Structure 1
Amino acid sequence: MSSTGVPTEVVVVGIGADGFAGLSPAPRALVLDAAVLWGGSRHLSLVPSVPGQERVPWPSPLASGLPSLLSEYAGRAVVALASGDPLVSGIASTLLDLGATVRVVPAVSSVSLARARMRWSAESCEVVSLVGRPIKRLVLALAPGRRILVLSSDASTPADVASLVTSSGFGDSRLTVLGDLGAASESSVSGVASSWASESPALNVIALEVVGNGLASWAPGLPDDAFENDGQLTKRDLRASALARLMPAPGQLLWDVGAGAGSVGIEWMRAHPTCRTIAIESDPDRAERIGRNASALGVPDLVVVEGRAPSALEGLEAPDAIFIGGGATREGVLDTCLAALRPGGRLVVHGVTLETETLLAQAYADHGGELTRVGVETAAPVGTFTGWTPMRTVTQWAWSKG
């Protein structure tokens, strides 16, 4: 028995659409000589029968079943089958995340084959995987002139992508659906997103050439009307100011406390695909609205915690940054957030009331940081003329944890 509760090694062998016959001699021997062979039913059926070989299909559902499978075969050597390059949105990545010792023997990936068919360099295109992931993740990648390779879940993905691209304001985009790449049955069908009506094979990659004028900015400070809201919204100029001080960085986690419409947490996640947000909101209607906004703006993985700080913060993963847009004067909220931040973490608090301003002035006196009052005025009609309409002045305290 392995001390780690996982197999001594899992050798993951990639198979192309041309099947077992397309493997070179070395990976073919690995598969045929394996005492234990894991894989999907389709992949296992491609391998010739081997007397005495134990063949185990992947558990379903995969995510919850894999830990038990690893434990069951602890201390044994295992060979697993996967599609193409097992580290491109593949099973090898999942096994590594679970702590398995993995050796990868890749085939040519569907991404490489798709680039070759489209004659797109690696530098000229982005890859977005929708395999087991929400399709709304694609929204964040959409911008005029972009080339995107979309890894599909199944035959329905191209039509779903065409619909999403069209509803996002990029209906003139061109889709090329590349089916069964590398197999004798390989196919290619092209069309325009807004009029897409073609059927697609189960195994496909979508080459998307984006055309249109949809929302496509990655800079902080999206228009306020990009967010469904009931008035509880950090407005764009103040949002941009807060995000400049929160400083989103790849892989980091934000707590958006008193999230309202979720705008700060959503824009934090839009800064980089690996940025994460936990939005804490006590109002159930607003909590639901945050989820809708996050999905519509391309970050459907944002986590919403319905509850009131500070109690709702208990047990959450320690954050790299915290934004408090509401509720800072509630007993224990500010102290809990100060204590929860990781070393080097950033905190930004906004206040519009005298009570919050007093609290932030004292926090500045006690801890230092940066205390700013932000006033924004916009031009608006005044009778037959134009004048300035002021918004509420906001006191902003920004602090970094040493």
Structure 2
Amino acid sequence: MSARTTTGDVITVVGLGADGWDGLTGHARHEITSAEVLMGSARQLDLVPGGFTRVAWPSPLLPALPDLLAAHAGRRVCVLASGDPLFHGIGATLVRLLGADRVAVVPHPSSASLACARLGWALDRTEVVSLVGRPTSLLVPHLQPRRRLLLLGADPRAVAELAPDARITVLEQLGGPDERVHHDLDAADPLHVLAVECGPGGLSRAPGLPDDAFEHDGQITKREVRAVSLALLGPRVGELLWDVGAGAGSIAVEWCRTHPACRALAVEKHPERAARVTRNATALGVPTAVRVVEGASPDALDGLERPDAVFVGGGVTAPGVVERCWAALKPGGRLVANAVTIESEAVLARWHAELGGALTRLSVSRAAPVGGFTGWRPHMPVTVWAVTKENE
């Protein structure tokens, strides 16, 4: 039994499988039958017998949820969830909304557990990606050589187009009487999980993607300098980056590719380049993590969420840019700025003298044909200033 007594102040969330009432434990059935109000999707409500006040979820659900719960305050409310309520489910939403002390959860095997059981896959070595209400392009960073993925809420055909070298299995109605495992992507039941066995392709998630992985007009932080700059920025899980003077957005995109919880604000004054940042973020799998702020710095920085790290790749000579970035940076945050001209180098030297940090000059040459031979073609040297903000 639950360690907490269900009262009118506590919402009970019961995980439900495709087999409905028959698949529930005695504890789960008791929690449901003890309720006065039963909430869930229309499909879930149809799986449970009994006389309740039944409330089907509206669409969209999240904006309506607080008022819906308030309307039944003081009554014993039970919420039906699919599988494990805390695994990409309504249980986690309710905990965020009400707090853990007001939500009692009775779990059921998740769709991921059932899928791995059918396939013989080790769950701890299988990556689960939720695409429920999200763009399919979010899958791109997860497409790594021979990785095994489980996808929730994915469009089978869209996944096949994005990963043509993958083997895709449809697992539908898991745990129910109509369960089926097959490879007919056009015949997938709406209630399904996709199992993806990746092929040999896929882009590395380590910083320093090839320049031609990005759409650009030449205004891009080159691969070698980008790898060094990102190493100095030191992305950590859940942190926010400002990419000021974003150009093609390569720094912002690669920052977000390091972990799904990382975010970036790409500040770019040229409309065409700003649109290009969005396209690059989508193509490389971080469409929702990179937000483009169109406008000239420093004015475009006003009102933005404070960053954990700042990269200034363009506009370092504009009055007030470095000052505004430094003031906004959180304590412990990192600022990295690049310069390729004498004038921008002078700005970095002045700030280095005032705030400290480290100055590094990078010179990169790439092999290229010289007649019938091969020679070195140097790129413009880049001066990199990196500094950490110790306190306000």
Q: TM-score interval w.r.t. the shorter chain?
A: over 0.9
Equivalent residue runs for 1:353-372 within 5 Å: 353-372=341-360
Identity of paired residues, percent? 54
SS in 2 for 1:328: coil
CA distance in 2, matches of 1:389, 1:382: 9
Residue 267 (structure 1) aligns with? 254
Q: Which moved more, 1:84-93 or 1:25-34?
A: 25-34
Residue 316 (structure 2) aligns with? 328
Whether the aligned pair in 2 keeps the contact of 1:89 and 1:131 (CA below 8 Å) is: no
Whether the aligned pair in 2 keeps the contact of 1:281 and 1:307 (CA below 8 Å) is: yes
Whether the aligned pair in 1 keeps the contact of 2:137 and 2:287 (CA below 8 Å) is: yes
Whether the aligned pair in 1 keeps the contact of 2:333 and 2:389 (CA below 8 Å) is: yes
Q: Which moved more, 1:129-138 or 1:258-267?
A: 129-138
Q: What is the one-letter code of the residue matched to 1:291?
A: T
Residue 134 (structure 1) aligns with? 135
Q: Which moved more, 1:341-350 or 1:123-132?
A: 123-132
Residue 68 (structure 1) aligns with? 67
SS in 2 for 1:64: coil
CA distance in 1, matches of 2:369, 2:179: 61
CA distance in 1, matches of 2:187, 2:67: 38
Shift of 1:77: 4.4
Residue 176 (structure 1) aligns with? 169
Deviations 1:12-65 (A, max 9, x none): 111001012221122112112212222111111222241xx3222222112322
CA distance in 1, matches of 2:321, 2:291: 20
Shift of 1:388: 1.6
SS in 2 for 1:244: helix
Shift of 1:75: 5.6
TM value normalised by structure 2: 0.93
Shift of 1:197: 5.0
CA distance in 2, matches of 1:389, 1:77: 74
Q: What is the one-letter code of the residue matched to 1:322?
A: V
SS in 1 for 2:187: coil
CA distance in 2, matches of 1:74, 1:343: 42
Whether the aligned pair in 1 keeps the contact of 2:268 and 2:274 (CA below 8 Å) is: yes
CA distance in 1, matches of 2:136, 2:29: 35
Q: 1:310 to 1:68 in 2, by over 3 A?
A: farther
CA distance in 1, matches of 2:234, 2:208: 14
Q: 1:121 to 1:277 in 2, by over 3 A?
A: same
CA distance in 2, matches of 1:78, 1:306: 46
Equivalent residue runs for 1:1-400 within 5 Å: 8-50=9-51, 53-74=52-73, 77-100=76-99, 101-153=102-154, 157-166=155-164, 171=165, 173-190=166-183, 198-213=186-201, 215-301=202-288, 302-400=290-388
Shift of 1:122: 1.9
Deviations 1:110-158 (A, max 9, x none): 10000100111123211111112211111111111101111125xxx11
Shift of 1:73: 4.2
Shift of 1:254: 0.8
Q: What is the one-letter code of the residue matched to 1:64?
A: P
CA distance in 1, matches of 2:88, 2:344: 46
SS in 2 for 1:260: coil
Aligned Cα root-mean-square deviation (Å): 1.6
SS in 1 for 2:322: helix
Shift of 1:290: 0.9
Whether the aligned pair in 1 keeps the contact of 2:170 and 2:185 (CA below 8 Å) is: no
Whether the aligned pair in 1 keeps the contact of 2:133 and 2:153 (CA below 8 Å) is: no
Whether the aligned pair in 1 keeps the contact of 2:36 and 2:75 (CA below 8 Å) is: no
Deviations 1:274-297 (A, max 9, x none): 111111111111111111111111
CA distance in 1, matches of 2:219, 2:70: 48
CA distance in 2, matches of 1:8, 1:346: 44
Q: What is the one-letter code of the residue matched to 2:223?
A: R
CA distance in 1, matches of 2:292, 2:69: 31
CA distance in 2, matches of 1:187, 1:260: 48
CA distance in 2, matches of 1:398, 1:384: 41
Q: Which moved more, 1:142-151 or 1:100-109?
A: 100-109
Q: Which moved more, 1:344-353 or 1:19-28?
A: 19-28
Shift of 1:251: 0.9
Q: 1:230 to 1:199 in 2, by over 3 A?
A: same
CA distance in 2, matches of 1:91, 1:106: 12
Shift of 1:96: 2.2
How many residues were matched structurally? 380
SS in 2 for 1:29: helix
Residue 4 (structure 1) aligns with? none
Whether the aligned pair in 1 keeps the contact of 2:156 and 2:185 (CA below 8 Å) is: no
SS in 2 for 1:150: strand
Deviations 1:170-222 (A, max 9, x none): x2x211111100001100103xxxxx654101111111111132x32111100
Q: What is the one-letter code of the residue matched to 1:122?
A: L
Whether the aligned pair in 2 keeps the contact of 1:9 and 1:76 (CA below 8 Å) is: no
CA distance in 2, matches of 1:119, 1:59: 37
SS in 1 for 2:367: strand
CA distance in 2, matches of 1:209, 1:20: 33
Q: Which moved more, 1:74-83 or 1:322-331?
A: 74-83
Whether the aligned pair in 1 keeps the contact of 2:129 and 2:150 (CA below 8 Å) is: yes
Q: 1:9 to 1:315 in 2, by over 3 A?
A: farther
SS in 2 for 1:387: strand
TM value normalised by structure 1: 0.91
